[in-house]
Structure 1
Amino acid sequence: MKVFDLRCAQGHGFEGWFGSEEDFQSQLSRGLVTCPLCGDAHVDKLPSAPRLNLGASEPAPAAAPKPQADTPEALWMRAVRHVLAHTEDVGERFAEEARRIHYGESPTRGIRGRASREDTEALLEEGIEVLALPVPADLDGPVQ
């Protein structure tokens, strides 16, 4: 398994896991490697240093793992995945269903879907809280 550091033309960094360099090149040439944040297929492989084990020296004492700071992209993706996993997709019926929930005509639950700018503004004027959350095309489907 090869793990590559990748970056799209928009500057988003992410990892890609491939069976081999040839597998990566094949998928890249077919437009199958896309940015998980914006869906951009213009992806470059960044230089990375391979991990080499050059000797059998004494292992260093185990240190407590250092917490890694999440990048803004990683935090955003975690938030998107959480929303997708914990809400019901009502699709184009979003504004209608948000109103039904707000006025007690439908059970209270987390929903997501699509609404026009006009519908979103009308919901906000009615006191119904909504938040636009762009979802990458690759994640618009079943959550794994």
Structure 2
Amino acid sequence: MKVLNLQCSHQHAFEGWFASEDDFQSQLGRGLLTCPLCGDPAIQKMPSAPRLNFGAAAEVSATASPSRELSVPAALPSGPVHDVMAAAGNPAGQAEFLKALRQVLANTEDVGQRFADEARAMHYGDAEQRNIRGQASRAEAMELVEEGIDVMPLPLPALAKETLQ
């Protein structure tokens, strides 16, 4: 099993598990790999440190002469830290971001392409107030803002509905 550090073109860092290097290259070539945060298919392999077994080093350290010390780092760096976005600037932040997205999905009604119409109807009192989400073009969103209707773009990766492993 090969565990690879991967990154999309938007600097989102994530991990991928593959049976072999050939398996990784095959999946990449067939377009099967996408970023779990944004869905970007432009994936590249990042440098990573191999797993080092420091158990043997600890034994050597115990038998080393006092004049010669062996220094073993407490933790190895996991790779470069990338600013994903304000809410998700590191792997822990990415996990929190995805958790928040799942909470939004669980507590809102998806009105799809009817988003602008539903938002207007609620704003003008023609429909019951409720939490909604959906799709609107940039022009529709700008029109809603100009009418005084608060809207917020929500980056919603396709994988946000699934459990990431």
**TM-score in same-fold range (> 0.5):** yes
The match for 1:116 among 120, 137, 141 is 137
SS of the aligned residue for 2:55 comes to: coil
Tell me how far apart the structure 2 counterparts of residues 71 and 110 of structure 1 sit (CA, whole Å): 27
| Distance change >3 Å, CA 55–CA 37, structure 1 → 2 | closer
- Contact 1:85 1:143 survives alignment (8 Å): no
Q: Does 1:71 align with 2:89?
A: yes
Q: Aligned runs of 1:68-107 on 2, under 5 Å?
A: 71=89, 74=94, 76-107=97-128
| Distance change >3 Å, CA 10–CA 125, structure 1 → 2 | closer
Q: Which residue of 2 aligns with 1:25?
A: 25
| Distance change >3 Å, CA 86–CA 6, structure 1 → 2 | same
When the two structures are superposed, what TM-score results if normalisation uses the length of structure 2?
0.62
- Contact 1:18 1:24 survives alignment (8 Å): yes
RMSD between aligned residues: 2.9
Unaligned ranges ≥5, structure 2: 60-87
Unaligned ranges ≥5, structure 1: 59-69
Larger Rg: 2
Q: Does 1:128 align with 2:146?
A: no
**Identity value in percent:** 58
- Contact 1:2 1:21 survives alignment (8 Å): yes
Tell me how far apart the structure 1 counterparts of residues 23 and 17 of structure 2 sit (CA, whole Å): 10
